[in-house]
A = this chain, B = another copy of it.
Amino acid sequence: MSERRVTPRSEDYSRWYTDVVLKAELADYSPVKGCMVIRPYGYTLWENIQAALDRRFKDTGHVNAYFPLLIPLSFIQREAQHVEGFAPELAIVTHGGGEKLEEPLVVRPTSETIIGHMYSQWVRSYRDLPVLINQWANVVRWEMRTRLFLRTTEFLWQEGHTAHATQAEAEEETRRMLDVYTDFAVNEAAIPVIKGKKSEREKFAGAVASYTIEAMMGNGWALQSATSHFLGQNFARAFDIKFLNRSNELDYAWTTSWGLSTRMVGAIIMAHGDDQGLIVPPRLAPIQAVIVPIWRKDAERTIVLEHAGQLAGVLKESGIRVKLDDRDELSAGFKFNDWEMRGVPLRIEIGPRDVEQNAVVLARRDITGKEGKTFGVPMGGVVEAVREMLSTIQATMLRRATEFRVANTRTVQTYAEFKEVLDSQGGFLRAYWAGSNEDEDRIKDETKATIRCFPSDESESRGTCFYTAQPAGQVAIFARVF
């Protein structure tokens, strides 16, 4: 058995992150530069993320479809900002079936172009609108510096693409999906994201306006966790998505796009993990509870395993994702550490004395040691006890992450203060902002911090810009980022 300990966060945050991903077997490096393998434990987490999102997409009237992986290079070039943003990251297929292609094909970095083309075939009249389609897919963006889950050349995501008859409807859709992402992050991933608008510098290539949810990681840095874009009529013009409106006039459609990727796995790791490793929020956990049987003598082994097996059956029947760790060759202590490192939210211990008393011990992952243990939980009420404990853990994780974010978000009034706080304490910096794009660039060059978003719930705030000292109509959140 390999060493299961991870580098402490305080020692080296970046090493800690990589240790957790590799040792918890969430993912592995592949022989293809910048591409990763998502291992079963990490993929099951992704499947749970998918299910929670897909349900929300369908509840808001969306359907899934699938568009080609390969896109003609000329398509990417049709929207001026789009090609500028994506050209440097393209993977290009030049040969197929043993021959050189007449026109090179691009492995999709995102699908606005090919989907826009198809919508132009399908939409004729306002009666065909809105089109509310989502796609679960892989995309490829050539990245120079990659990090498992956070930035990989290939990643998995969903990309929603909608077309509407009016600007108002499209803007409403953009906000609706941002709310869906926020609801998912808060209530499933236990991550208290800040939702808001992106700056001009940070918006999507080809969008009129981009919105984001930004999460605070354990080192105080920000992680952009999902985005929702209002594309105006930019892609409709580039791909000729025209329709007859109610007044029987030809008009361009208004489109949106929105996406969340396997990056979210990285967000979960860094929002919740501790020096023991991963902590997975119960609602998304591949394994919600692990049963560790404890015995010394062979006679004890038989009876303990019998009870543990029955318990696993009862919990499984109740819809709890449970695993019985009955490996013979490993000690209970090793198993405790192993499952803690893998972030299983609840451990159920069962030994000879527990069997005698017809009870079990529950041990919380979010509170380690004796403090997190509940002894003598009677078998009769074990399903309810486990359910309640899981929901307590979920709530505690959200509360803890919220408190951490609040404690590490600081309002600054001047650029001097900004730099001082950023260097000494890090975290999110909240400040009034009336600067230009060039001001934002300068701050990034000098401090490595960027505007993460203009928070939606402070859109009415007025004050004085910390950088230009001009009157400011908005609050910005600055942070360093992954």
A299 CB to nearest B CB, Å: 25
Name A94's contact: one of B36, B46, B88, B95 (CB within 8 Å): B95
A179 close to B (CB within 8 Å): no
Are B144 and A97 touching (Cβ within 8 A)?
yes
A14 close to B (CB within 8 Å): no
Given A40-B63, A63-B43, A63-B44: A30 in contact with B95 (beta carbons within 8 A): no
Segment 206-234 of A: residues with Cβ below 8 Å from B: none
For A68, list chain B residues within 8 Å (CB).
30, 32, 35-37, 154
For A36, list chain B residues within 8 Å (CB).
68
A70 close to B (CB within 8 Å): yes
Segment 1-54 of A: residues with Cβ below 8 Å from B: 28, 30-32, 35-40, 43-44, 46-47
A26 CB to nearest B CB, Å: 11
Complex CA–CA separation, A471 to B346 (angstroms): 65
Name A70's contact: one of B37, B90, B154 (CB within 8 Å): B154
Given A90-B96, A138-B138: A66 in contact with B31 (beta carbons within 8 A): no
For A84, list chain B residues within 8 Å (CB).
none
A324 CB to nearest B CB, Å: 14
A123 CB to nearest B CB, Å: 13
Complex CA–CA separation, A70 to B122 (angstroms): 32
Are B114 and A70 touching (Cβ within 8 A)?
no
Are A97 and B93 touching (Cβ within 8 A)?
no
For A71, list chain B residues within 8 Å (CB).
32
Complex CA–CA separation, A89 to B99 (angstroms): 10
For A137, list chain B residues within 8 Å (CB).
138
A118 close to B (CB within 8 Å): yes
6 pairs of residues in contact across A and B, judged by CB atoms under 8 Å: A30-B67, A37-B118, A38-B65, A40-B65, A44-B63, A87-B98
